Chain A
Amino acid sequence: MYQEKGVILGTDLAELFRTHRPGLVRLAVLLLGDRGLAEDVVQDAFVALFRRWPLDDPAGAGGYLRVSVVNGARSAHRRAALRLRHRTGDRDDAPPADTGALLGEEHREVLAAVQRLPRRQREVLVLRYWSGLSEAEIAETLGVSRGTVKTCASRALAKLEGELR
């Protein structure tokens, strides 16, 4: 199979996978709060990309993968909404029990408040403050207008401001 990969995918895709996967898994974890689901979502994103390869614009592969992961996270969220409510638990695929311990109280408080936000507001915040995307890039990733991104961010920050005072 890996011989086939070498022929079919070439080193460019292998390199793409190696360089983009860690960041995408972390993005998916931030969106989903579930490591197992995050790995699945990222895997599906790469499979989808490989099926479309070569892209008309190979430089857009990173953006394509990011959109796939965000969309995949939404689907996974719908399928397992309960899993997103709590970071700890006794599920096999739950984050390690010491994950919370690795975070300071301040971070846990912030992340818990973010988890209570509506899904789109949470996506906007993650893409803005973790991925470091511009409003235009977030709009493109989420398939919404820049105005919607602004509104979501504004409402999310206002809500957090009230909760984290």
Chain B
Amino acid sequence: MAGWNGKILTIDLTNQTHEICPLDMEIARQFIGGRGLGVRLLWDLVGPDVEPLSPENALIFTTGPITGSGSQTSNRFNVSSKSPLTGTILHANSGGWWGMQFKRTGYDALIVRGKAKAPVIIEITAQGVEIKDADQLWGTGVFETTQALGQDRNNRNVLCIGPAGENLVRIASIMNDKERALARGGPGAVMGSKMLKAIVVEGDQKNKPADQDLFKFMLYETGKLLKASPLTSQALPEFGTAVVMNVINEIGALPTRNFQQSQFDQAEKISGEEITDTILVKNQACWACPISCTRITKTKSDKQGEGPEYESAWAFGAQCGIDDLDTITEANFLCNDMGLDTISMGNTIGCAMELTEKGLMEAELDFGQADKLLDLIHDTAHRRGIGAEMAEGSYRMAEKFGAPELSMSVKKLEMPAYDPRGMQGQGLVFATGNRGACHEEGNMLGPEVLALPRLIDRFATQGKAGIVSVHQDSAAVIDSLIYCKFANLAVAEEFFARALSAVTGEHFTADDLMMVGERIWTLERLFNIREGFTKADDTLPDRMLSEPVPDGPSEGCTVKLAPMLEEYYAFRGWDENGVPRSEKLKELSLEFAIEAEDD
């Protein structure tokens, strides 16, 4: 069927072999691709007995049927694994060019298993698959590695890890196309544990849509809406994702100084407006994207690169009480080069600052202290000094110093740039996140702040569970097609369904896709349950539940999680302990998971 290549490439690094298997098209229809295909493959390959950093863990790269089609934002790909940071399902997706290029090699998925004896790279081209020695690249940064392996914008694309991944840092990212990131949950450490430095792709096969007329119509209609939306046609191109910095700060939901406050008095200095006014060189787009939200910036010391995104500017900014945009930007560049998740890195530094402030950790580290940032990032990537503690992520670090409650994380994944006390629905998103506290799994920024699709009361709780569930399912399916979520700011599932129909030649409705989303979400939940996660893990840091916001527009608020969680389980057809009922699994064609439970 058009859209899918119909092939999965599996590489065993222990034995240095590879094999090509057909993609089960029934699985493709049920899970589409990307994140959905990733969790479905992982379910069979990685059981609860597998340690995340062992050779038995699988690192699964997937594309979707939309990837490489030329539909707006059809550049993305996904990685799935078991997370060394959280122990949960790990999924992360990234833009740029690599995903489109991997699709061109003729595969839908690449499964990497085993562990090489010495550092290697994988090269996949029209000539075949090669595993090559990478001794000379081990220890080098992402930028040098990407250049050394011949990154060539639309023709040859490099994905690699930096020193953080090599040193099994639990918050290490995988980077592609130099500065795009598969960041959350530590995928870089999984890749490092396999002694795999990089994957280079160079393909020549095009993803040609089955119904050209419908595809051209959808291109036109989608383009029209992307142009009409002020978010996708003005806000993101002009100011990047940090356009929301001032907005979130104004409503009192910008976590500040390790979530001790929810407003940062220096927010303007790290905002999208400030970035545009002071350090922006130009904006840039991923492949086939008309939005162009990427910032190319240059600091006073002439360092140039991509970023900072909103989350990164927040992580090294408000979270650490720092307003020095130049240093924040260089911290972002350095994380990209070392291969580190900027959100977890900044959040963990903020946690260390509070541990120090409270006298629990001995370090010369204060909130607002920008001059330590770069050293801390270097030390984390190389596991040196205090960086060795940070390399474990904020939860393990705070636990070691006797105060796990100061880790602002859920399931050990650091919370991103929204204080849920000022956005109740976002609190439920974080608490129930399958990969931990994550804004990409159903962000409530749309309905609770940006009025997308309509503005709802951000402090209300009744009815929130349904909206959260719909957004989670929608995000799961968008991550599986794969589209960029920013396209979803202008067009919704009815567009994605028609584009998928055009590409594959099979008819899909918006609610066919939503059911796929629910199926993916539920299987991820089952994966976590199989790993031993329970209702007790669907929670938030105690600060969010019991420490009222001290001042500002969210003053006095905590997250009223219990009633939302009860409503959430009921909405999803799960029992009171958050376990999907067998009727629900049958409805979602997840019978194979029931059989596994019975075993």
The finding on whether chains A and B are genuine partners in a shared complex, rather than unrelated, reads no
B residues with a Cβ closer than 8 A to A are: none
